[in-house]
């Protein structure tokens, strides 16, 4: 009986070792508690594979326009630090020279006699050695009219004429709500959140 148990245990240990994946054979073969053990021989390695770096395109985004000290200025964010900041008409940019700034966007002179209109929220991209072009991104969001003042009443609906003219072309099903509807929905949601 004793001999059978020893034979069964011996067959189980060899079956167990043979059933392990190759990655785990080292655990069975080498005793990690042996103080005299030596490191495994280093495997010869082939030449490392080096991936070619992918150059991301340069990007320049117009994030806003402002009138500061009586001068119209454009606010840009670029993929390079020197392209980020305020610019005035006449300043040089990566994409060319800033010709004009108005409340809807800017006009850039990208070459001799070539101009490009960039609206607030739009971006320009350029791959290495290629000219700047409008990026393929989501359509711009309708801009809100400036706050009414004593000498200038607010337009009906609160949206500028340029934005309302551009809205049908860029309208999406989710963008059909007016600002008043959105505020009404937000108030209703807040009321439901605070209700006991």
| Sign of the dihedral through C-alpha 179, 184, 187, 189 | negative
Position with higher pLDDT, 147 vs 34:
34
Q: Write the pLDDT tens digit of every residue in 84-121.
A: 889 999 998 887 899 999 988 999 888 888 888 989 98
Give the mean model confidence (pLDDT) for residues 159-170. Answer: 43
Separation between Cα atoms, residue 162 and residue 34, nearest integer Å: 80
Pick the CATH number of 58-131 from 1.20.1250, 2.30.30, 3.40.630, 2.160.20: 2.30.30
Higher-pLDDT residue of 69, 41:
69
- Please report which residue ranges of the chain form alpha helices under DSSP H: 2-19, 25-29, 161-170, 179-194
pTM above 0.85, yes or no: no
Cβ neighbour number for residue 22 with a 10 Å cutoff: 6
Q: What residue spans in the chain does CATH classification 2.30.30 cover? A: 58-131
């Amino acid at each position: 009986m004793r001999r059978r148990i020893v034979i069964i245990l011996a067959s189980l240990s060899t079956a167990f070792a043979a059933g392990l994946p190759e990655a785990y054979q080292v655990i069975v073969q080498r005793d990690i508690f042996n103080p005299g053990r030596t490191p495994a021989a280093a495997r010869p390695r082939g030449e490392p594979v080096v991936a070619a770096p992918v150059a991301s395109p340069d990007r320049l985004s117009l994030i806003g326009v402002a009138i500061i000290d009586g001068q119209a200025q454009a606010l840009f964010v670029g993929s390079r630090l020197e392209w980020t900041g305020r610019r005035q008409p006449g300043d040089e940019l990566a994409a060319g020279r800033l010709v004009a700034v108005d409340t809807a966007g800017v006009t850039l002179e990208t070459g001799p006699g070539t101009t490009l209109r960039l609206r607030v929220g739009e971006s320009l991209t350029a791959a290495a050695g290629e000219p700047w072009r409008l990026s393929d991104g989501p359509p711009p969001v309708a801009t809100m009219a400036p706050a009414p003042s004593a000498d200038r009443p607010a337009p009906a609906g609160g949206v500028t004429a340029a934005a309302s003219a551009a809205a049908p072309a860029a309208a999406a099903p989710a963008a059909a709500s007016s600002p008043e509807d959105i505020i009404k929905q937000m108030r209703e949601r807040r009321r439901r959140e605070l209700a006991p």
